[in-house]
Structure 1
Amino acid sequence: MLGYHEIDFDSITEIIEEASDVAARNIPTLNDPTNIDFDIIVKINYLNPDSIRRIDLDVYITELRDNRRETIPSERDDICPICWEEFGTELDINSLSCNHTYHHHCISNWVEKTLTCPYCRALLA
């Protein structure tokens, strides 16, 4: 095993960049989450077990973006549990599968850190 001072960091950086380029060329875009090649996902997961969480996250963020809606009159006085501001006449909110509602920008930022509902901690994906 190499000691810390024996590692050639330039070579390692080059290997990481090449691997990133190969992955970027071979991973499908997630504009259509139903069009993901399962074989590629299995290969990615084999190389990086945490990758499935990242794919789940990307798919869920796409779903949030596609499922934005405007507030209904009964929600206008409700408060977003993340930013503590009223929904008002906001045209850009999301309701999760657990029926909790948030401003779109608030919940989008939240799910990038954790795939659970901020209020009840239900798993989102």
Structure 2
Amino acid sequence: MTDIPLISHRISHQTRSTDGNPKQTLQIYILRPNTTQSVIDFQFLSMIDFQGNFSETITEIMEDMLTYHDIHHPNLTYLIEETKQYVINEARANINTLANDLQVTLTIKDYNPNATSRLDVDLIITDLEGTNRPPTTEEENDMCIVCFGNYSQHNNLCTLTCGHSFHFACIDQWLRRNISCPICR
């Protein structure tokens, strides 16, 4: 039995005629059905250089992004090489591809249940930053359940999607260790 996470993928493309400068777009979707994170979506432009080769810059960025998103390393190399070959084959098969818009889509379905706890935290923290605010007059004497201090002691608090509020610094540290609300859990 192997401990390599199960990953499936599909590469597809669309071409559209264009009147101006043709764009080559690589769009990557990472679907994670075992986590609260539904879709990770990022795009790259200009995949093919002037000599008809796949851009080494995009190769490096793909490797960094897929590594950050915890795609298992042997699969990562395979996915990048297969995507590069797919793009080059499309460019060679359709000479007008470089005169048309070309959008290649790599869809990865990753069933690794341990892959994204860090990424889920990153998304939650990013969402929290948008709720960062001073306490209202009514909240000043309420207590942060993480540090047990009043909200008036620190000038910023935030609210999780469940509706519970905490000092921003406290819940930020809490969520980096535990990916659940300290009250709801």
Tell me the TM-score normalized by structure 1: 0.59
User: Paired residue for 2:183?
Assistant: 119
Question: Within 2, Cα distance between the matches of 1:38 and 1:72?
Answer: 46
Question: Within 1, Cα distance between the matches of 2:62 and 2:174?
Answer: 26
Instruction: Say if 1:77 and 1:87, in contact at 8 Å, map to a contact too.
Output: yes
Question: Within 1, Cα distance between the matches of 2:137 and 2:176?
Answer: 29
Instruction: Say if 1:93 and 1:104, in contact at 8 Å, map to a contact too.
Output: yes
Compare the two structures and name the one with the higher helix fraction. 1
Between the aligned residues of both structures, percent identity stands at: 29
Deviations 1:7-45 (A, max 9, x none): xxxxxxxxxxxxxx9886233989xxxxxx9835x3xx3
What amino acid maps onto 1:98 in structure 2? C
User: Paired residue for 1:39?
Assistant: 107
Question: Within 1, Cα distance between the matches of 2:165 and 2:106?
Answer: 32
Q: Aligned in 2, Cα 1:72/1:56: closer, same or farther, shift over 3 Å?
A: same
Q: For structure 2, list consecutive stretches of 5 or more residues without a partner in the other structure.
A: 1-59, 70-104
Tell me the TM-score normalized by structure 2: 0.41
Determine which structure has greater relative contact order: mean sequence separation of CA pairs < 8 Å that are 6+ residues apart, divided by chain length: 2
Question: Within 1, Cα distance between the matches of 2:106 and 2:166?
Answer: 32
Question: Within 1, Cα distance between the matches of 2:143 and 2:131?
Answer: 19
Greater shift, 73-82 or 49-58, is seen at 49-58
User: Paired residue for 1:65?
Assistant: 129
SS of match in other structure, 1:98? coil
Compare the two structures and name the one with the higher strand fraction. 2
Note the aligned Cα RMSD (angstroms). 3.1
User: Paired residue for 1:80?
Assistant: 144
Question: Within 2, Cα distance between the matches of 1:75 and 1:38?
Answer: 47
Q: For structure 1, list consecutive stretches of 5 or more residues without a partner in the other structure.
A: 1-20, 31-36
SS of match in other structure, 1:39? strand
Q: Aligned in 2, Cα 1:76/1:24: closer, same or farther, shift over 3 Å?
A: farther
Q: Does 1:25 align with 2:64?
A: yes
